């Protein structure tokens, strides 16, 4: 059908409107593109110029700042020091071997270090930076920075490294940090990504290990721009992580230093604790080692010297050493018998030098015997026969119950490594462990802390603190974490009659202060610091009947490692107990001669909050003590520095 003129005009008007609308839309789009192009080409020209040169944006983790560890008075025990280092990223380096050769020309590296770097680069993802060498000098660091354009993928950095300013004093308590190993990652379902960073260090032993989650903190991130040769051009964005928590210990750094110095080169340990709060004031093990060696990478020679030393410097004898407690255990036997009603406080026993049971003689340390002795005298003279008699009356199970009540045979919960449970045996234990019945001879041996009984210096200090206070005080090492005070639990009273505890304390008093006391040479004459305690000597070898017949070989005629262990436990002041102490000197021969003097000196230093006061010693000993104190290699109480002779 033929269209009319009117229809044709209407169609033309419609097409024209659509054309205008489309044209307007196209014009708007062109204008928008023009504005965008101007923004990209003019306003963002510098940034896109860099991107045009094949720059890339990388996101990297920022290791968190590790928390600082302090003593109870705020003295630094573990801190972080500035560390110049250089790292390499495989994906940015290109020819890694060529880059490493150029780097080695600037920074001296051993073949072992080069091989380790190559191994780390292969082990980790290509985008993960690997630390090639740390602890660079300023000159070495500067050389790398100046030659950065010729070292693609290499980045000179300023980081932090762990430092232990009091080195040997706290090696066993605080421990040290080291690189994360595969063993460290085992068992972690979702390990912190920062643990995957090559050469990132975590706590390996001691407080550093057991408080790792608090000390480590949380990693941050940084967004950096690198050019086509892997050189870092600039940092685009930085999100700081969360630094680790600072920790305050209960230990007094000056007292710890005094204890370490007083132990000298002995293979020994001393633990001193507050009898009310349980605060460990010192926890020293000798000989010690420098934990800084492990942080920096200990050499084979240095490590062999530590592992092959017969005094075992790597072992924390204060908490991991398990020793027969010898006569320091006699308080347990006495309290068990008193509490069970097996004996009364007035119980007396005749000691001819031995007790014969079933045709076998169990000897007292005094071959001629002690005559008839009371409970108090049995402590003062350390009569073994008295306890042989008492043990038969009360039995091993009651003795074991008392030992557990006083903290023996228990693993005390502290953030330190290898804390021993010791051993507080009973009939069921022997049947389960050795498939044998308990015998009367086992009870006799246990009554004087021999046989199967084992205890650490820490446990002996806890035992002494509980006897002195009459409370089930528990040891503690952490005083404050992240600014929060650690609560001191109220220690419940021991389920031991007060008069029985008093009777045992009187005996401990006479050990040090009585005319016949085995440790009277370590008495304290200052009335406000009177000392009470118990010496002990534990055998490490069997003495045969034939040897007894011809005369027991004296300790000084035996090789060092076959001599008896020397022990001493004590507390002071006697009338108002404040501190309890335990000392073990491996193969020290006699508790009263080797261990008691150390215990006295350490507890006097604690009471005096400094060096032991000379007026606390008997006049006849003051000259010798003064000379001894002057010769101790003690740190400066303000700077913490050691004497120059020691440093050398």
pLDDT in tens, 385-433: 999 999 999 999 999 999 999 999 999 999 999 999 999 999 999 999 9
Q: Is residue 503 included in any domain, yes or no? A: yes
Distance (Å, rounded) from C-alpha 410 to C-alpha 448? 19
| Claim to verify: residue 396 and residue 524 sit in the same structural domain | yes
Say how many domains are in the chain. Answer: 2
Tokens at residue 548, please?
């007894």
| Claim to verify: residue 82 and residue 141 sit in the same structural domain | yes
CA angle 404, 325, 284 (to 5 degrees): 95
* Residue 228 reports pLDDT greater than 70: no
Judge residue 575's burial from the number of C-beta atoms within 10 Å of its C-beta, 0-12 exposed, 13-18 middle, 19 or more buried: exposed
Lowest mean pLDDT among 192-196, 316-320, 529-533, 601-605: 192-196
Q: In this predicted model, which residue has the larger pLDDT, 368 or 271?
A: 271
* Residue 341 reports pLDDT greater than 80: yes
* Residue 474 reports pLDDT greater than 80: yes
Q: Is residue 179 included in any domain, yes or no? A: yes
Write the CATH number for 534: 3.40.710.10
Residue at which a domain ends, from 209, 224, 249: 249
Rounded (10°) CA dihedral 569, 573, 574, 575: -150
- pLDDT score, position 226: 67
- pLDDT score, position 34: 75
Residues 146-180: tens digit of each pLDDT = 877 778 878 777 778 899 999 999 999 999 998 88
- pLDDT score, position 25: 75
- pLDDT score, position 469: 97
**HSE (side-chain half, CA atoms, 13 Å) at 365:** 21
Closest CA relative to residue 389, chosen from 413, 403, 405, 372: 372
| Claim to verify: residue 139 and residue 231 sit in the same structural domain | yes
Query: For residue 76, what are the domain limits?
Result: 57-249
* Residue 254 reports pLDDT greater than 80: yes
- pLDDT score, position 504: 97
- The rounded mean pLDDT for the chain is 87
| Claim to verify: residue 257 and residue 245 sit in the same structural domain | no
- pLDDT score, position 85: 78
Burial code (b: 16+ CB inside 10 Å, e: under 16) for 100-135 equals beebbebbebeeeebebbbebbeebeeebbbbbbbe
3-state secondary structure of 309: coil
- pLDDT score, position 98: 81
Q: Is residue 22 included in any domain, yes or no? A: no
Omega cis (within 30) before 287: yes
Average pLDDT value for residue range 269-278: 97
Lowest mean pLDDT among 26-30, 40-44, 90-94, 588-592: 40-44
Q: In this predicted model, which residue has the larger pLDDT, 241 or 346?
A: 346
Residue positions annotated with a catalytic role:
327
| Claim to verify: residue 268 and residue 211 sit in the same structural domain | no
DSSP conformation class of 14: H
| Claim to verify: residue 235 and residue 257 sit in the same structural domain | no
Distance (Å, rounded) from C-alpha 327 to C-alpha 448? 5
What is the pTM (predicted TM-score) of this model?
0.84
Q: Mean pLDDT highest for which of 114-128, 209-223, 488-502?
A: 488-502
pLDDT band for 195, please (50, 70, 90 cuts): confident
Write the CATH number for 81: 3.90.1310.10
Q: Is residue 28 included in any domain, yes or no? A: no
Burial code (b: 16+ CB inside 10 Å, e: under 16) for 389-426 equals bbbbebbbbbbbbbbebbbbbbebebbbbebbebbbbb
| Claim to verify: residue 262 and residue 143 sit in the same structural domain | no
Distance (Å, rounded) from C-alpha 195 to C-alpha 83? 19
| Claim to verify: residue 622 and residue 639 sit in the same structural domain | yes
* Residue 198 reports pLDDT greater than 80: no
Q: In this predicted model, which residue has the larger pLDDT, 16 or 317?
A: 317
Average pLDDT value for residue range 336-362: 92
Distance (Å, rounded) from C-alpha 289 to C-alpha 269? 14
Give how far Cα 534 sits from Cα of 89, 332, 546, 568, Å: 63, 12, 31, 6
Strands across the sheet containing 220-226: 56-62, 220-226, 232-239
CA angle 228, 233, 237 (to 5 degrees): 120
Contact between 508 and 463 under an 8 Å Cβ cutoff? The reply is no
DSSP conformation class of 107: S
Distance (Å, rounded) from C-alpha 16 to C-alpha 14? 5
Contact between 426 and 397 under an 8 Å Cβ cutoff? The reply is yes
- pLDDT score, position 42: 65
Q: Is residue 402 included in any domain, yes or no? A: yes
| Claim to verify: residue 106 and residue 210 sit in the same structural domain | yes
Lowest mean pLDDT among 387-391, 543-547, 604-608: 543-547
**Which residues neighbour 193 within 8 Å (Cβ) at sequence distance 6 or greater?**
61, 219
Residues 366-387: tens digit of each pLDDT = 888 999 999 999 999 999 999 9
Closest CA relative to residue 60, chosen from 198, 224, 193, 236: 224
pLDDT band for 647, please (50, 70, 90 cuts): very low
Residue at which a domain ends, from 249, 275, 308: 249
Average pLDDT value for residue range 350-359: 89
| Claim to verify: residue 586 and residue 544 sit in the same structural domain | yes
Helices and strands, number each (H, E), in the chain: 26, 21
- pLDDT score, position 648: 38
| Claim to verify: residue 521 and residue 426 sit in the same structural domain | yes
Q: Is residue 220 included in any domain, yes or no? A: yes
Q: In this predicted model, which residue has the larger pLDDT, 138 or 578?
A: 578
| Claim to verify: residue 343 and residue 492 sit in the same structural domain | yes
Q: Is residue 367 included in any domain, yes or no? A: yes
- pLDDT score, position 53: 46
Residues in the chain: 648
């Amino acid at each position: 059908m033929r269209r009319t003129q009117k229809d044709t005009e209407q169609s033309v008007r419609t097409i024209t409107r659509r054309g205008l609308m489309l044209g307007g839309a196209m014009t708007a789009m062109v204008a928008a593109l023009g504005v965008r192009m101007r923004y990209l080409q003019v306003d963002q020209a510098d940034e896109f110029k860099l991107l045009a040169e094949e720059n890339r944006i990388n996101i990297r983790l920022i290791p968190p700042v590790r928390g600082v560890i302090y003593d109870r008075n705020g003295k630094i025990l573990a801190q972080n020091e500035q560390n110049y280092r250089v790292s390499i990223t495989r994906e940015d380096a290109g020819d890694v071997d060529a880059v490493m050769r150029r780097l080695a020309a600037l920074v001296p590296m051993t073949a072992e270090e080069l091989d380790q770097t190559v191994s780390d680069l292969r082990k980790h993802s290509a985008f993960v930076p690997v630390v090639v060498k740390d602890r660079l000098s300023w000159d070495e660091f500067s050389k790398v920075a100046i030659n950065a354009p010729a070292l693609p993928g290499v980045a000179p950095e300023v980081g932090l490294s762990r430092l232990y300013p009091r080195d040997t004093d706290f090696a066993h308590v605080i421990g040290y940090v080291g690189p994360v190993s595969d063993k460290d990652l085992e068992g972690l379902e979702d390990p912190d990504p920062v643990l995957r960073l090559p050469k990132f260090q975590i706590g390996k032993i001691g407080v550093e290990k057991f408080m790792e989650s608090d000390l480590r903190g949380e990693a941050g991130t940084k967004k950096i721009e690198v050019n086509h040769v892997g050189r870092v051009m600039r940092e685009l964005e930085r999100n700081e992580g969360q630094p680790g928590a600072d920790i305050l210990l209960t230990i007094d750094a000056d007292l710890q230093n005094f204890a370490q110095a007083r132990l000298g080169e002995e293979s020994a340990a001393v633990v001193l604790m507050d009898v009310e709060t349980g605060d460990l004031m010192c926890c020293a093990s000798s000989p010690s080692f420098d934990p800084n060696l492990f942080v920096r990478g200990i050499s084979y020679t240095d490590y062999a010297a530590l592992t092959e030393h017969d005094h075992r410097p790597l072992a924390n004898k204060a908490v991991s050493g398990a020793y027969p407690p010898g006569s320091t255990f006699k308080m347990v036997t006495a309290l068990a018998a008193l509490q069970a009603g097996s004996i009364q406080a007035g119980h007396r026993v005749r000691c001819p030098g031995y007790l014969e049971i079933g045709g076998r003689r169990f000897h007292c340390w005094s071959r001629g015997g002690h005559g008839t002795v009371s409970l108090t005298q049995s402590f003062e003279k350390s009569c073994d026969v008295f306890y042989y008699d008492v043990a038969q009356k009360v039995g091993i199970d009651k003795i074991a119950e008392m030992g557990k009540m006083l903290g023996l045979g228990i693993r005390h919960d502290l953030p330190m490594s290898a804390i021993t449970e010791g051993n507080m045996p009973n009939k069921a234990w022997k049947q389960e462990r050795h498939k044998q019945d308990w015998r009367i001879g086992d009870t006799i041996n246990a009554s004087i802390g021999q046989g199967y009984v084992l205890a650490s210096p820490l446990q002996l200090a806890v035992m002494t603190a509980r006897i002195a206070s009459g409370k089930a005080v528990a040891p503690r090492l952490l005083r404050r974490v992240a600014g929060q005070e650690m609560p001191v639990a109220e220690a419940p009273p021991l389920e031991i009659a007060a008069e029985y505890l008093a009777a045992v304390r009187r005996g401990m008093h006479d050990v040090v202060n009585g005319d016949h006391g085995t440790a009277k040479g370590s008495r304290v004459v200052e009335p406000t610091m009177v000392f009470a305690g118990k010496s002990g000597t534990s055998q490490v070898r069997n003495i045969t009947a034939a040897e007894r017949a011809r005369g027991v070989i004296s300790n000084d005629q035996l090789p060092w490692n076959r001599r008896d262990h020397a022990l001493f436990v004590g507390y002071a002041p006697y009338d108002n107990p404040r501190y309890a102490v335990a000392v073990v000197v491996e193969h020290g021969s006699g508790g009263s001669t080797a261990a008691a003097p150390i215990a006295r000196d350490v507890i006097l230093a604690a009471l005096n909050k400094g060096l032991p006061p000379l007026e606390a010693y008997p006049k006849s000993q003051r000259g010798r003590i003064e000379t001894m104190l002057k010769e101790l290699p003690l740190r400066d109480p303000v700077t913490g520095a050691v004497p120059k002779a020691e440093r050398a």
